[in-house]
């Protein structure tokens, strides 16, 4: 089975801190995604990557950046965390665009 691993299940940070969320997949997938999940809003795409060092903005990229130096790893970076970035962050990977494999999420609280 495909395994998508997110480095932390819960994370608490202070306003203004730089935050790194890490995601690793073990199935050699080309595509990787970062979503945030908020009650009543569902999942919103932040960034995705279809190859190493390639990235594309999703629907809500403001305040975030990403890094993909190796195929298996896709990092989400909050340059200066703010309280409105408190959310559940979900990483996903896929071989085709038809089926995404998700990690179990990181619940980030920014105080």
Partner 1 sequence: GDSVTQMEGPVTLSEEAFLTINCTYTATGYPSLFWYVQYPGEGLQLLLKATKADDKGSNKGFEATYRKETTSFHLEKGSVQVSDSAVYFCALRADSSASKIIFGSGTRLSIRP
Residues that bind partner 1 (CB under 8 A): 4, 33, 35, 40-45, 48, 50, 56, 58, 90, 92, 97-105
Between 90 and 108, CB nearer to partner 1: 90
Query: Rounded to the nearest whole angstrom, what is the least distance from the CB of residue 20 to partner 1 in the complex?
Result: 19
Nearest to 72 by CA among 23, 20, 1, 9: 23
Residue 21 in 3-state DSSP? strand
Between 80 and 89, CB nearer to partner 1: 89
Residue 35 in 3-state DSSP? strand
Q: Are 65 and 4 in contact (CB under 8 A)?
A: no
Q: Are 51 and 94 in contact (CB under 8 A)?
A: no
Query: Rounded to the nearest whole angstrom, what is the least distance from the CB of residue 56 to partner 1 in the complex?
Result: 7
Query: Rounded to the nearest whole angstrom, what is the least distance from the CB of residue 33 to partner 1 in the complex?
Result: 8
């Amino acid at each position: 089975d495909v395994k998508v691993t997110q480095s932390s299940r819960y994370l608490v940070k202070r306003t203004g801190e730089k935050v790194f969320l890490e995601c690793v997949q073990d199935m050699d997938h080309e595509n990787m995604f970062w979503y945030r999940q908020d009650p009543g809003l569902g999942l919103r795409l932040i960034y995705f990557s279809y190859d190493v060092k390639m990235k594309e903005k999703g629907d809500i990229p403001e305040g975030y950046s990403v890094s993909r130096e190796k195929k298996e790893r896709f990092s989400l970076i909050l340059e200066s965390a703010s309280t409105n970035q408190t959310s559940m962050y979900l990483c996903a990977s896929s071989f085709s665009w038809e089926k995404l494999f998700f990690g179990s999420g990181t619940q980030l609280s920014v105080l």
